[in-house]
Structure formats: C-alpha cells, structure tokens
Structure 1
Amino acid sequence: MENLAVYHGPIGKEEGERRLGQDGRDGCYLVRNSDSVEGVYCLCVLCQGYVYTYRIHKDDAGSWAAETSPGVQKRYFRQIKNLIAAFQKPGQGIAMPLLYPVTLEFNVYSATQTESHKARETAPCMGNHTMYEQGRVGRCFPSRTHSFCSKQSCCRET
C-alpha cells in the first residue's frame, strides 16, 4: 500500500475530507487507513460536494476487494492498483468513477535546510536530494517548495 501514490496513511476522516475538498473536483479520490477497523483502508471519492467512503481490504487469499453499493457483486483483484483501475470506469457500484488522483506530496527537507528535522515555513528543493519517508523513496524536484517536515522524513544528497 505504501507504494500507492494516492495512499495518504492514517490521516483520519476529517483530514481526508479536507484534502478532497481542497482539490474540489468531482471524481477526485484518495486512499487512507480506516479510523475504526484495523488493517482496513478507505477509498474516498468526492461527488457533488460530498465525500463517499468505501472500505477496501485484503482477504486471506491476498486479493483486494471494496465494499460497494448493495446489489453490486463484489469483485476481487490481485493488486490494489487493479482495483483502482476498475473503479475508474462508470457503473462499478460507487458514487462516481475515480477520475482525479489526489496524491500524497512528500514534504522534504535536507539536513542543511533544518536542524534536527525541525520545520521551516518553506524550503526550496534544489533537486539534488533523494527523499526517504516511511519506506518510500522518491526524487525531489527542482524549484519545488516543501512546506512541512516531520521527524519521519528526511533528504539525503545524491
């Protein structure tokens, strides 16, 4: 799940809704951890100002499934990305197709930009760092400004 660009982690319902509302487009979506059920995730999609949430989980056989509208046959997928691809089409038992991924933007600082990973208001990335965060590896992009840093993330010069 951590390698999925739309996975935002344990952000909670309210923060998930805020992020979708910030995007504002019908069909924008993200995946987050469920607040109430351990090991279950939520696929959240914005439709006409409302956020619809569908639980997704991996079964004992390793297949992914989503809880959709009543009467819609449950489908199983080997990979989460295949589940998301299926729900990008109309008529799949969710409020509307998944159209616009709301990706998690990595907020990164280098050791020269912060002391002990404390946040600064803004810090431009020069594009010469590789980002490491919660098991993910990504490349920083030149001229991009990052506005937050947590103790879980850091940059290393490449």
Structure 2
Amino acid sequence: MMENLAVYHGPIGKEEGERRLAQDGRDGCYLVRNSDSVSDVFCLCVLCKGFVYTYRLQKDAAGSWAADTSPGVQKRYFRQVKNLIAAFQKPQQGLAMPLLYPVTAQVRAQTHTEQHMAGDSLSPTNSSQNSYLQQQSPKAAKGQKNRKKTEAMQACR
C-alpha cells in the first residue's frame, strides 16, 4: 500500500517533513507522511513560496483515496494514491501548488547517510543548500503557524 509509494516517508512528523521539503527548496516539491494526530490518515505536503501546505489523505470505506483540498473544490476519489498524485501534478486542482518534484525515500536515505558522514551538517558539496535551509526552515515553520484559516486547507498537525 503506502510503503510502495516512492514519496512515502513514514511517521516522520510535521517538523521533519517541513525540514525535508525545505532541504529540497523547490516550489512544488512534495512528500507523503503519516499524520501526527490522526491514525490511518496520511498527509500530502507541498512546498510553495517558502511555506509548507499540508493536505490530509484519507481512504474511504470503499477503498478509494481523497485529499482534503481548498474550500469550494470538489473532492475527487482515486483507487490508488499514485493516481491521486498524478492528478494533482496539474495546476488548479485545489492545492497551493501542483506536485512537481517528488522527494523520494531514496533521496531521504541518501541525505540520512550524508548527515551521518558529515556529523550534523550536510556534506560540503551541498553547502549552498545548507545556507538555504538555514534561511528557509524558520520561515516555513513560522508560515505554518501564521496562515489564515482559509489558507490552512485542513492541515495535519
């Protein structure tokens, strides 16, 4: 099921999810993680202009998947999460930003290895990303807390 999805990061928590997206840094990068607060619910997280927008992914009784999108956008159901992701790669689907750049488990494993090799910082070859992270991570976290309710779009906590 979810474990077979390349962008699924497991129970990493909101802060770690935001950190991983800020590390990529591109508008439209995205990942899927477990919800911190609701069991059997997953979160689709996407970076847009330094802010992380989080949408709940839920499976209904019939086994179809849907994402909680912007108010006024009709909920769409998909047999598989990969089909849902493919649909949200197009603009104007009810997300803050189309899903453009997957942050995959392979990237996660590589980053994890680099961090252990270089202590707590990124490897020297990624020093420009490291400075970007220092600038963006607090902004992303601050933006998550300060968004208006209408922009929150049912964020997972």
TM-score by length of structure 1 reads 0.67
Deviation per residue, 1:25-77 (Å, 9 max, x gap): 00000000000100000000000000000000111100000000000000000
Show the counterpart of 1:116: none
Deviation per residue, 1:98-149 (Å, 9 max, x gap): 00000012649xxxxxxxxxxxx44xxxxxxxxxxxxxxxxxxxxxxxxxxx
Show the counterpart of 1:30: 31
1: CA distance, partners of 2:59 / 2:86: 16
1: CA distance, partners of 2:3 / 2:61: 19
Q: What residue identity is the alignment partner of 2:87?
A: A
1: CA distance, partners of 2:109 / 2:13: 19
Q: What residue identity is the alignment partner of 1:35?
A: D
Identity %: 82
Per residue, is there more strand in 1 or in 2?
Answer: 1
Show the counterpart of 1:102: 103
Show the counterpart of 2:53: 52
Q: CA RMSD in A?
A: 1.3
- Larger relative CO (CA 8 A, sep 6+): 1 or 2? 2
Structure 1 runs (4+) greater than 4 angstroms displaced: none
Secondary structure of the corresponding residue to residue 2 of structure 1: helix
1: CA distance, partners of 2:97 / 2:24: 16
Q: Structure 2: 5+ residue runs without aligned partners?
A: 111-115, 118-157
Show the counterpart of 1:39: 40
| Total equivalences in the alignment | 110
Secondary structure of the corresponding residue to residue 6 of structure 1: coil
1: CA distance, partners of 2:109 / 2:59: 29
2: CA distance, partners of 1:63 / 1:69: 19
Show the counterpart of 1:92: 93
Change (3 A) 1:69 1:107: closer
